[in-house]
Amino acid sequence: MKNATITALGGYVPTSVLSNEALTKMVDTSEEWIEKRTGIKERRIAEFDQSTSHLAAGAIKDLLQSYDVHPSEIEGVILATATPDSLLAPTAPTVCQLCELDNAFGFDLNSACSGFLYALTMATSMIESGRYKKIIVVGADKMSSIVDYNDRNTCILFGDGAGAVLLEAIESGNGVLNSILRTDGKGTESLLVPGGGSKYPASAESLISGKHYIKQDGSLVFKKAVAAMGSVSRDALTANDFDSEDIDWVIPHQANIRIIKAVSDSLNIPFEKVKVNIEKYGNTTSATIPLCLWDFKEDFKEGQNLLLTAFGAGFTWGATVLTWGVLRPSKSHNYQGNCVEATI
């Protein structure tokens, strides 16, 4: 059986920056309080006419422009997102069209902040089955489209962005080793956008009452995230006969620096092994883990073991253990710092 291995990465973040200073002029807060409580210094915000499909396409185009892979080789796109362009039709087909992926199927997957891990696990199974050889997994969210910028409990947390990986069938010991995914529907009411779906369809009342904005019980989510990410990570290590010492890098969901540090402590993994970029992007939901992989890809060496873990609305959570492989040969990069000006 061939292993599913990450062989290329791409990322996209909008050019517009929303700083902590700017937020202090919008809600009752301070730069010091935001950074101390969340670890966030700034976040990227998409333009009004940029949708999630544009963000996802930007990340995929960066991947295709940066590595020796042709669009015709891509057989599938799994888009993890909590903010699709619309409820119907799915967003992934639009992304495939924007990227000229004419030979690829495409579908959306919504598991909130855990979405990328869920999509990565699904793509891994499809490749291990032998039916597919190259699938792109992309996490993308325009969180600014569902954030109430009068609510200081949520508006300080979220940003927009997208990250993508090419998962490929490789005959080696590298690749995704195992994933453990969990859900608990009791947490649904603690983190959600109440309106706009079939339960509370969009209406004048839902707009007036703000049901189309994200609502969160921050204290409960914090406690659940620390416990769940720590527990599922230990389960994933045990399933692979690994100890904490066997992990070279941890790539956690970038929700809150205090959550990240607490999970690191619970696993007895030095914080120096934990990759963090929350200060630049905030919580980009489905995009946090792939953006982290993209940002720090130069640090990962063949044969190193990575632990990916996330927690999100639903509640959903999970952990994936993988051994880093060899990336495809690179082409000329299209970077401007940490922002990719991909043509979309």
Q: At what angle do helices 218-239 and 257-266 cross, to 10 degrees?
A: 40
Torsion on CA atoms 270, 273, 279, 283, rounded to nearest 10: -100
Mark whether 283 is an active-site residue: yes
Residue among 20, 110, 277, 283 flagged as catalytic: 283
Longest dimension (CA), the chain: 56
Active site residue 253: yes
Active site residue 70: no
Active-site pick, 253, 256, 277, 339? 253
Q: What are phi and psi of 294, to 5 degrees?
A: -65, -45
Among 99, 113, 155, 292, the active-site one is: 113
Q: How far is CA 164 from CA 46, 55, 106, 173, 338, in A?
A: 18, 10, 14, 22, 14
The catalytic residue positions are 113, 253, 283
